Amino acid sequence: MPTPPGRKPRKAAPARQPLSQDLIVDTAIRVLDAEGLEAATMRRVAQELGTGAASLYAHVSGKEELRELMLDRVAGEVRLPVPDPARWQEQLKELAMETHRVLTSHRDIAQVSIGLIPTGSNLLSVAEAQLALMRAGGVPPRIAALAVDTLGMFVDADAIEGTIYSARLNGGAEAMEKFIHYLGEIRDFFKALPADRYPNVVAMADELTETGGDARFEFGLDILIRGIASYVDAPEPS
């Protein structure tokens, strides 16, 4: 219909994109990246999509499934290596670091991974890649199966700790300066402890407070991977 004289023409409403599981997950990840995991609720995602929460249940059974789908989508960003038996330890470390990088790039999504048995296709692809590297290096099946779980827990825990520190440092240079000052106070506290009761803490106060998060994470990976490698050509524990 033409617009009557003296009236403004009615603006056409933008076409609403049909709801789908992919759209819901994409929207939830945008909320996650902007505000964190707790903000990515069914209700909030529905608001972002301009609909009611009830309409989402036709595509996602609830919050837990939504979170698992979000984690699996994020896991699809992990770049997977082609196994090289000569470099399996180095590749396993690189894959763990790549997984850590992806997890920490999406706020606190690693919280979903703790205690979760992977069933999504992308999560299974990461696990398959880890297992393939270990098996290519001669790690026995039982040890590889235990190690893939242990590596996952370590990567998840470090990623979660990293998000906690990131939240504390969310004030830019000023927040970083405060954190460095706080570490200095911790160092002074350690040095002031009774040396007869805590001799090693006092003596190693500088070492205990000087290493950054990346160095600690890589050190932990080195310990784990060396331990895994020790089982190559060795009898499996009973």
Instruction: Quote the distance between the C-alpha of residue 100 and its chain's center.
Output: 6
Each residue's pLDDT tens digit, 83-129: 999 999 999 999 999 999 999 999 999 999 998 999 999 999 999 99
Residue 173 domain flag: yes
Domain count, the chain: 2
- d(CA 28, CA 22) in angstroms, rounded, equals 10
Burial 1-25 (b: 16+ CB within 10 A, else e): eeeeeeeeeeeeeeeeeebeeeebb
Domain range enclosing 177: 85-229
Q: What is the dihedral of CA 215, 218, 223, 229, to 10 degrees?
A: -150
- d(CA 4, CA 2) in angstroms, rounded, equals 6
Q: What is the CATH number of the domain that holds 33?
A: 1.10.10.60
Q: Record the pTM.
A: 0.84
Using an 8 Å Cβ cutoff, are 107 and 163 in contact?
Answer: yes
- Tokens (6 digits) for 60: 């996602």
Q: Are residues 38 and 102 in the same domain?
A: no
- d(CA 180, CA 156) in angstroms, rounded, equals 25
User: Is the pLDDT assigned to residue 228 strictly greater than 80?
Assistant: yes
Q: Are residues 217 and 129 in the same domain?
A: yes
Each residue's pLDDT tens digit, 139-165: 999 999 999 999 999 999 999 988 887
Q: What is the CATH number of the domain that holds 182?
A: 1.10.357.10
Q: Are residues 115 and 144 in the same domain?
A: yes
Q: Are residues 60 and 90 in the same domain?
A: no
- Tokens (6 digits) for 111: 């919280």
Query: Between 236 and 20, whose confidence is greater?
Result: 20
